[in-house]
Chains A and B, each alone.
Chain A
Amino acid sequence: MDFLTLLQVLDSTIRLATPLLLACLAGLFSERAGIFDIGLEGKMLAAAFFSAAVAALTGDVWMGLGAGIAASLALSVIHGLASITFRGNQLISGVAINFLAAGLTVLIAQDWFQQGGRTPSLVGEARFEPITLPGAEAAANIPVIGQIYSELISGHSELVYIAFLMVPLTWWLLYRTRFGLRLRAVGEAPEAVDTAGVSVVGLRYVAVGICGVLCGIAGAYLATALQAGFVKDMTAGRGFIALAALIFAKWRPWYALYACLLFGLLQAVALRYQNIDLGAFVVPVQFMDALPYILTVVILAGFVGKAIPPRAGGEPYVKER
């Protein structure tokens, strides 16, 4: 494998890791506040459809992004109502949200566009185009460093850079601000937060809301940047891979970045090479597809460092009287 091929694989890794990273950070906010969210997939899917649909109708991709975030937030509100206000089962609510998105997107797509559950292909202003960073073209002639800059770092859409900037931002927010401290506390010991006179319900709604915004960006990236338009079930399990990455990262932002890059790399390799011939034996493409899930189970089993979720995760908070 020559250097340019390597760069191409890594380039595709970054593109494929972006939606995972956004969804993973989304889940991080929610779960750190004690709200399990297996509805990441559904929120991304809803955002993917509404961003593509509005972008196709208005011709403005930023309008699409807004619509995607709004759709994802709407589902977040349902999840918040079910799991915070009515103290229902958070996992069941997540399952319901996934199905709601899977059904409604196709239903509405068929009603609006009559194209069998897809949106028209997005062109021009209706899509996020790659942006060339300053000096990238000139740097392309410099071997190695210049090539890395022009091929790998430059030439992505705005959302990719936003996603990667979200990692230090999340870290700063969680570990260096008062809000972050409270958010983490509400996932570990909500009764302590309540005793301190801070609203558990309010904090959890904010966390679920941030989760909705990030899932919205993730979905919009899928439909308006990675691909040009919405197709049925286009998230294809990415919400669950993001969940896997979150566990893999043990609910920490920088490790989330590494986990998402790893799973992105697996996807990129599986996409480029079908079956990998290692001489002695052949690694089938199905194994590459299943690897993120297998790795997550291994991590969950605690054989390679135990993954311990936030202590109050999944438990509705009932105020003492």
Chain B
Amino acid sequence: MDKMPGWADAVLVPLISLILAAILSALVIIGIGEDPVAAFKLMVDGALMRSSGWGYTLYYATNFIFTGLAVSVAFHARLFNIGGEGQAMIGGLGVALACLYIPWPNWYVALIGATASAALFGAMWAFIPAYLQAKRGSHIVITTIMFNFIAAAVLNYVLVNILRPQGAMDPSTAKFPEPTHLPTFQDMFSTAETAMFRGAPANVTFFLALVMCLVVWALIWRTRLGYEIRAFGESESAAKYAGISPVKITVVAMLISGGLAGMMALNTTMGEAERLVMNATEGAGFIGIAVALMGRSHPFGVLLAALLFGFLYQGGAELALWTNIPRELIVVIQALVILFTGALDNMVRMPLEKIFLARRRAQSGSAR
């Protein structure tokens, strides 16, 4: 018998963790001599009260949906893919190569091609750690960390020595050609009279991210492969007994995870910068961990958590602009969310389980 009803596990535990993280964040803000209520108001104003603010919030959220889904899929197979950052960097390389060297007729064909390329490159970068885990038992957390650093070195080399246009100073590729430029929210939603989402980087990739939420949901809960992934994650020995190959599931789950992480680069590289720059991922690969933990590895939860982090990112930028609070506040909040929803999960869960058990005992006692 479960100790807690399903809703408490899915909603109550993350909510309490989030509240704990928020309280501590507020204490941090007080600690550096600022007013947390005023700071929160400023964040809401900057991120949610104007359409351009929403444009940034949704832009960041797009990144986090992709990386959050990437971490989630791996979590379902009980694999901790900490290498989303590296996979997204290499995915960016895939986007850049596709955009620069293939003459696309228009943006939607280009988007399909670049998506395939990004996913392929990201998956490729996840393949070696996955294979080593499956075949040689090398711990996937350590290998994916190492692959993050190797990816940074590879990208640095490729940008500085190969893809940088002649005479350019900063390590980045040339601007992508015109037909690959994706429509932004401003292009899509502005009418002749009113400009919506002015100057904001949110673009059509956001809808691709929403589609991927649905695809991942269907994959995990409506296909045979998804069943195998979950079975493997629940119990490796049971899965083996049922004829599921651990090698296959480990590799396939990591390929999907890497592909999703790689697709994140579409948003930053093709949608926003329109060229590949050195730090295109901006740590989104790591935020995916917080997003997946908070979203309980469910695509809908990931979507909500990604929106929350999008809000925090844009709100944090506003804070850095108007107050003395640096952007790193967001890193602290992110750390607290990971700590409470991930590592200290039992701290919240154990007392709650006790409360529910006590209530159930009291109820069954009175029924008799």
Contact = CB atoms under 8 A, between A and B. Distances in A.
A81 interface: yes
Interface string B198-219: 0000000000000000000000
B153 A107 contact: no
22 contacts: A88-B347, A89-B80, A89-B343, A91-B80, A92-B293, A92-B342, A95-B82, A96-B336, A103-B330, A104-B28, A107-B32, A111-B33, A111-B324, A240-B149, A244-B146, A286-B153, A286-B154, A290-B153, A294-B146, A297-B150, A300-B132, A302-B138
A284 B161 contact: yes
Contacts, number: 153
Given A92-B338, A287-B153, 12 more contacts: A81-B344, A90-B343, A96-B338, A97-B335, A99-B286, A99-B338, A106-B326, A107-B332, A237-B149, A286-B156, A286-B157, A293-B153
Contacts of A240: 145-146, 149
Contact of B344 (A82, A103, A284, A290): A82
A-B complex: 6 closest residue pairs judged by Cβ atoms: A103-B331, A93-B343, A99-B335, A103-B332, A290-B153, A92-B342
A309 interface: yes
B150 A88 contact: no
A296 B350 CA distance: 38
Contacts of A201: none
Given A106-B328, A107-B328, A309-B139, A96 B32 contact: no
Contacts of B343: 82-83, 86, 88-90, 92-93, 96
B138 A297 contact: yes
Q: Is chain B's interface secondary structure helix, strand, loop, or mixed overall?
A: helix
A117 B328 contact: yes
Nearest to A240: B145
A102 interface: yes
Given A107-B32, A287-B157, A95 B328 contact: no
Nearest to B325: A107
Interface in A251-270: none
A301 B342 contact: no
Interface residues of A, number: 46
A288 to B, nearest CB: 9
B116 interface: no
Interface string A94-124: 0111111011101110110000010000000
Contacts of B28: 104, 107
Interface in B125-170: 128, 132, 136-139, 141-143, 145-147, 149-150, 153-154, 156-157, 160-161
Interface string A202-213: 000000000000
A77 B43 CA distance: 32
A231 to B, nearest CB: 13
Interface of B: 28, 31-33, 80, 82, 128, 132, 136-139, 141-143, 145-147, 149-150, 153-154, 156-157, 160-161, 286, 289, 293, 324-326, 328-336, 338-339, 342-347, 350
A73 interface: no
Contacts of B141: 38, 91
A88 B293 CA distance: 13
A293 B146 contact: yes
Interface string A26-62: 0000000000001000000000000000000000000
Contacts of A111: 31-33, 324
Contacts of B333: 103
B329 A88 contact: no
A293 B149 contact: yes
A289 interface: yes
Nearest to A296: B146
Given A38-B145, A107-B329, A300-B143, A293 B335 contact: no
